[in-house]
Amino acid sequence: MKRQLLNYETLLKVTNAISHSRDPEEVVLMAVESITHALDVKGCTVFLINRDTDELEVAATYGLSDEYINKGPLSALKSITAALSEGPVAIYDVSDDPRMQYPEAAVKEGIASILVVPIIIRDRTIGALRVYTAEPWEFTLDDVNFVQAMAGIVGMAIDIAKYSKGLNKSIEILKTLRDPKTLKSRRRTPYEGVPKSFN
């Protein structure tokens, strides 16, 4: 029961961060740290898919060494790909699972099990959230549901940031259009744009 209450607290903490922060990096970093502490696991990472290279790129991470994070490119086509197309994937033993792209590096890092959940925005998978444990872990349905909820929150934060950036650009464009210094040159006469047949 304690873990379930802690998970609700984590959800509240991260959703509050989204509502008060305009910085998606802050929200994503808070999410990976909060998941790590809520589940009492080794670490957590958010990956985003680079559509040009088909690689998973680290957007935020917590609890893992730089050496492990920089072990090499993660292919979206090779590294636990089922999570990107079919839903959550749990790997009980990273040292003996063909879906692992870098099993030796995971063992060296002290990782025993991994849970991978897709990050989806409007039916489009944009990345994955991975949870790493130091001990072999049978992920429960509650664990998976919690991580899926957090992945959904991360996706919303990224989506909101995208719209916020677009809105800020639009506001800046509108400001320049309404600038009194440039307004005269752009002002139209009553007949401009009206077909000559109607003049």
Instruction: Tokens for 174, please give them.
Output: 């509108």
What pLDDT does 174 receive? 47
Per domain, the residue ranges of the chain are 2-175
Q: What pLDDT is stored for residue 80 in this prediction?
A: 76
Contact 133, 42 (CB under 8 A): yes
What's the pLDDT tens digit per position in 72-109?
888 877 777 777 778 899 999 999 998 899 999 999 99
CATH code of 2-175, in short, is: 3.30.450.40
- Nearest CA to 39 out of 13, 7, 17 is that of 7
| Phi then psi dihedrals of residue 101, to 5 deg | -85, -35
- Amino acid 78 reads K
CA angle (135, 139, 142) in 5-degree steps: 135
Helix (H) or strand (E) holding 74: strand 74-75
Other Cβ atoms less than 10 A from the Cβ of 48: the count is 19
> Considering the entire predicted model, what is its pTM?
0.75
Asked if residues 34 and 62 have their Cβ atoms less than 8 Å apart, the reply is no
Contact between 151 and 126 under an 8 Å Cβ cutoff? The reply is no
pLDDT at 66 over 60: yes
No. of H helices and E strands in the chain?
7, 6
The residue among 175, 158, 129 whose CA lies nearest residue 36 is 129
Provide the sign of the torsion angle of the four alpha carbons 122, 26, 32, 46, taken in this order.
positive
Mean pLDDT throughout 122-148? 91
